[in-house]
Chain A
Amino acid sequence: EAGVAQSPRYKIIEKRQSVAFWCNPISGHATLYWYQQILGQGPKLLIQFQNNGVVDDSQLPKDRFSAERLKGVDSTLKIQPAKLEDSAVYLCASSFGTGGFYEQYFGPGTRLTVT
């Protein structure tokens, strides 16, 4: 079974530029998560999708971050414009469902450096 795929693995941009990350979840997984992991901290949930609907985006900085999950499969997370404090690893995870316990499977992450 293929795992969660993310690209790119690394990205370096200057502040005020825009950037986009892509995630392909495990086939058949209805729920998709984006986490932000700043160096020295644990992952923090940014947004959770159930199919192509948003379940929780309470911690997403909506003035600069946006995310979509077209057709309930792949997802894209965008930052526009980027700030220095956005430097972090962006993790995508997927799970089979919601409303009980379903293990979340994590991708390798995208390491973003904003200079």
Chain B
Amino acid sequence: AQSVTQLDSQVPVFEEAPVELRCNYSSSVSVYLFWYVQYPNQGLQLLLKYLSGSTLVESINGFEAEFNKSQTSFHLRKPSVHISDTAEYFCAVSESGGNEKLTFGTGTRLTIIP
């Protein structure tokens, strides 16, 4: 079984400042890792994913995450945030080669301060 820990439930950040949202996972097997974003009054959307290969993955809107196997982490970063990044961010894990069952963390609410 897998589990995901998101240590920060809320992260306030000033506009144009950098941000890091932390995610740690636990699993006895190889995993796929994901970040999902939920904008206000919208459904969950896939932001980025790690399946294999390069441990650094990027999204189209400037976010990146790095898979660190030794630290079992998949932290999400952005060098300069915008008001439009205000949302809830969920880290998730699934067993690679399994049935795509996603196990989610409890989420981090990112609030951008103008």
A interface residues, Cβ below 8 angstroms from B: 3-4, 31, 40-45, 48, 55-56, 91, 93, 95, 98-104, 106-109
Contacts and interface: CB of A to CB of B under 8 A. Distances in A.
Given A45-B102, A103-B49, 13 more contacts: A40-B106, A41-B106, A43-B44, A43-B104, A44-B104, A55-B99, A56-B99, A93-B44, A103-B46, A104-B102, A107-B43, A108-B42, A109-B43
A56 B107 CA distance: 24
Where chain A touches its partner, the secondary structure class is loop
B45 interface: yes
A100 B106 CA distance: 25
B4 to A, nearest CB: 7
Contact of A98 (B32, B46, B99): B99
Interface string B77-114: 00000000000001010000101111111110000000
A42 B99 contact: no
B51 interface: yes
Given A55-B99, A56-B99, A101-B32, A42 B104 contact: yes
Contacts of B32: 101
Contact of A104 (B42, B46, B103, B106): B46
Nearest to B38: A106
A48 B46 contact: no
Contacts of A103: 46, 49
Contacts of A45: 101-103
Contacts of B42: 108
Interface string B1-30: 000100001000000000000000000000
Nearest to B88: A42
A91 B43 contact: yes
A43 B100 contact: no
B45 A106 contact: yes
Nearest to A44: B104
Contacts of A40: 9, 106
A41 B9 CA distance: 10
18 contacts: A3-B43, A31-B100, A42-B90, A42-B104, A43-B90, A43-B102, A44-B104, A45-B101, A45-B102, A55-B99, A56-B99, A91-B44, A98-B99, A98-B100, A100-B97, A104-B100, A106-B43, A108-B42
